[in-house]
Structure 1
Amino acid sequence: MRLSKLTIVLLLLLCLFSGSNSFANGYDRFQNGANKDPNNFKAGISFVWLSDYDSQGLMFSNKFGHYFGERFSLGLNVGMLTASRYDEGKQIFSIKNTFYMGTLEAGFDVISNEMVTLRLGAGGTARRRNEINSEPEDQGTVDGSVVHIKTSDVGFNGFLENDFSFLRSGIVGGRIDYFYYSSGTPVFAIGLHVGFKF
């Protein structure tokens, strides 16, 4: 009788021990899976500076990204930029810019762990450019009347980005961008984003 009670207790302890191990392994798999979600979506806002016109403004962007392997990702980034320069002497906005921008980008994670990711990347970019400009190159008028410019440009983009993970799938971070185009002013941007992995 004692032997059977001892056997039952040992069997229960063995089941409990193996059950706790399988629970721990399952939790580890869940945690690792949460850190390796291949897709992400981010919405961001950036302060921008247009060097040729010395104008400033904001850029709003949305990005979808997908990982191929542990560190390499491809993404599509679309956004809208609005910027202007106010001429104190003339008391008017001498430059007003509106850009609709799209970028196909590739990124590589230089640092990647459960909490922080640091990414370098580059890609091809295109924009639809609408400008009101009082001093366009080779188009200015003596009386200072403005010129409307509507055109499209292509170029390239380089960026440095970091992500901080929070909760199970949340992302918050910052990004520095430089856009160079075949014509028109380059764009330098620095901003913040928030999103999620799935």
Structure 2
Amino acid sequence: MKVSSSGAVLFLALLFFQLSSHPASAQGSFGSDEPTSLRASVNFVWLSDFDSQGLSFSNRLHHYLGERFGAGLTLGLLSSSRFDKVKDIYTIKSTYYMWGVEGTFDVLKNETVAFRLGAGPAARHRSEISTEDEVGGTKDGSVSHIRTADVGVTAFIENDFGIFRNGMAGGRVEYMYYTKGTPVLSVGLHVGYSF
């Protein structure tokens, strides 16, 4: 069965109208009727020790334990690098698999906006290739290969804006400190759904 392009546009317009015709106030404030949410985010990251940058992708599950307090789980993947134009090589290439537990407190929460602070323990598995001498790891010519796990803490501020019926979008600034390896500063955007 063939669907015309005008039929597809009409279907999408009706779907958008249906979703947007339910204002955020119909669901109550964040966390009252739908206390659990799932967020997907993309972040720009800066690793301070060797001045490398990259992107991270994460999924977060958050659940309100009360009116303003909540807890969450997070899983993420980070990829960063630093390119040396003089040597014409990547002097740092990092891949992190990250996970953590979060406790949150909503400083501001109403029918359409939530602003929260959070912190919690974090861990990562780190796989790096570096030309720096002091990083340790296994030497292979002029580069070192590092494969290890680190533990640490994370602290963040984030906000959510209600969109459509149960949707949300917002931003997050996060600092992750680990006992070994470089700390990470992350700034990103997320979208999610409450259920």
Q: Same fold (TM over 0.5)?
A: yes
Structure 2 vs 1, CA of residues 136 and 41 (structure 1 numbering), >3 Å: closer, same or farther? Answer: farther
Residues 31 and 46 (structure 1 numbering): CA distance in 2 closer, same or farther, change over 3 Å? closer
Asked if residue 99 in structure 1 is aligned to residue 96 in structure 2, the reply is: yes
Summarize the Cα distance change of 1:89–1:138 in structure 2 as closer, same or farther, 3 Å threshold. same
Shift of 1:79: 0.2
Q: CA deviation at 1:31?
A: 3.8
Secondary structure class of the residue paired with 1:137: helix
Task: Supply the AA of the counterpart residue of 2:99.
Answer: G
* Aligned length in residues: 169
The aligned residue for residue 4 of structure 1 is: none
CA distance in 2, matches of 1:121, 1:33: 19
Give the counterpart of 2:56 among 45, 55, 59: 59
Tell me the distance in 2 between the aligned counterparts of 1:34 and 1:126.
28
Kept in 2: contact 1:75–1:106 (CA 8 A) = yes
Distance 2:57 2:143 in 1: 26
Q: Match for 1:171: what amino acid? A: M
- Structure 1 residue 168: deviation in Å? 1.4
**What secondary structure sits across from 2:28 in the alignment?**
helix
1:34-85 alpha-carbon deviations (Å, 9 max, x no partner): 8621100000000000000100000000000100111000000110000000
Question: What are the within-5 Å matches in structure 2 for residues 28-67 of structure 1?
Answer: 31-32=27-28, 36=32, 37-67=34-64
Residue 173 of structure 1 aligns with an amino acid whose one-letter code is G
User: C-alpha displacement at 1:137, in angstroms?
Assistant: 1.4
The reply on whether 1:182 has 2:186 as its aligned counterpart is no
Q: Which amino acid aligns with 1:160?
A: I
Residues 134-156 of structure 1 deviation map (CA, whole Å, 9 limit, x = unaligned): 0041649xx97001000000000
Instruction: Give yes or no for the alignment of 1:111 onto 2:108.
Output: yes
Show structure 2 runs of 5+ residues with no match. 1-24
In the TM superposition, 1:44-193 aligns within 5 A as 44-137=41-134, 139=136, 145-193=142-190
Report deviation, 1:167.
Answer: 1.4
For 2:144 and 2:30, how far apart are their aligned partners in 1? 52
TM-superposed deviation, 1:176: 0.3
Q: Deviations over 1:9-51 (max 9, x none)?
A: xxxxxxxxxxxxxxxxxxxx96438862110000000000000
Deviation at 1:166, TM superposition (A): 1.1
Q: Aligned residues: percent identity?
A: 54
Higher share of residues assigned helix: 1
Amino acid at match of 1:32: G
Task: Say whether the 8 Å CA contact 2:31–2:67 is kept in structure 1.
Answer: no
On the 8 A contact 2:27/2:166 being kept in 1, the answer is: no
Q: Larger Rg: 1 or 2?
A: 1
Distance 1:138 1:111 in 2: 42
